[in-house]
Amino acid sequence: MKHVFTIACLTACLAGPVQAEKLSLNDLSSYMTELGTVETTFTQINSDGSLSTGKLAIQRPGRMRFEYDPPNLALVIAGGGQLAIFDPVSNEPPEQYPLSQTPLNLILQRNVDFNRSEMVVSHFGDDTATRIVAQDPDHPELGTIELVFSPEPVELRQWVITNEGGDQTTVILGALEDRDSLSSFLFNIPYVIEERLK
């Protein structure tokens, strides 16, 4: 057995350096489509270089919740086809945008297909990480989202959103922890607005 191992090693060395492999778009599409309900921590690097941390909940399709740690205490919710940004120091209603007009929609859709024509504008990596830069093929002016995946097992580790103005926001994820379910109220924007007005 020892000799077999030695011969295998010598064969690999003589064959030259191993070509580093990136994950295929098919594998990444399947992973994102099958990703269900998870929670994790996150670190956010804003376009001005400032840092924020907090907890993230994802309930695909269509739902996401960022709860920021003190002293920030901001809240961002995707749900009901909307993206709402709550300002903790304002009594005004949250800023709301159609989720379909944000790059996050690309990973919150029920079926993620990175093979869709003109959706992925860049796809590169090696055996340590695979990166893709994706856009809405119908609305490339809305910006892009760069996704970073680790291999074996495949896991989403980071994304970078670049808006139409060129500003970038990076979100670095902790380990994703599967959940059987999460309360629907966490992603119910009208409910959260009402609770905050009490």
Q: What is the pLDDT of residue 5?
A: 40
Which token pair is 39? 């929670």
Q: What is the pLDDT of residue 35?
A: 97
**pLDDT (tens digit, 9 = 90+) per residue, 54-88?**
999 999 999 999 999 998 889 999 999 999 999 98
Residue 32's nearest CA partner among 106, 93, 119, 92 is: 106
- Which pTM was predicted? 0.86
DSSP category for residue 184: G
Query: H/E element holding 134?
Result: strand 130-135
Of 8-12, 19-23, 29-33, which one has max mean pLDDT? 29-33
Residue 2 has a pLDDT of 42
- Distance (Å, whole) CA 186 – CA 157: 23
Mean pLDDT, residues 5-9:
40
CA angle 159, 161, 165 (to 5 degrees): 165
Which range, of 6-10, 44-48, 76-80, 98-102, averages the lowest pLDDT? 6-10
* pLDDT band, very low/low/confident/very high, at 20 (cuts 50, 70, 90): low
Which residue is listed with tokens 């860049």? 122
**Residue 19 pLDDT > 50:** no
What digits encode the pLDDT tens for the residues 96-152? 999 999 999 999 999 999 999 999 999 999 989 999 999 999 999 999 999 999 998
Report the C-alpha gap between 25 and 165 in whole angstroms. Answer: 27
Q: What letter would DSSP give residue 99?
A: G
- pLDDT score recorded for residue 73: 85
Mean of the pLDDT values across residues 170-194? 96
pLDDT at 12: 40
What fold does the segment set 21-196 form as a domain? outer membrane lipoprotein receptor (LolB), chain A (2.50.20)
Q: For residue 36, which amino acid is it?
A: G
Are 163 and 143 spatial neighbours (Cβ–Cβ below 8 Å)?
A: yes
Contact 30/48 with Cβ under 8 angstroms? Answer: no
Three-class SS state of 140: helix
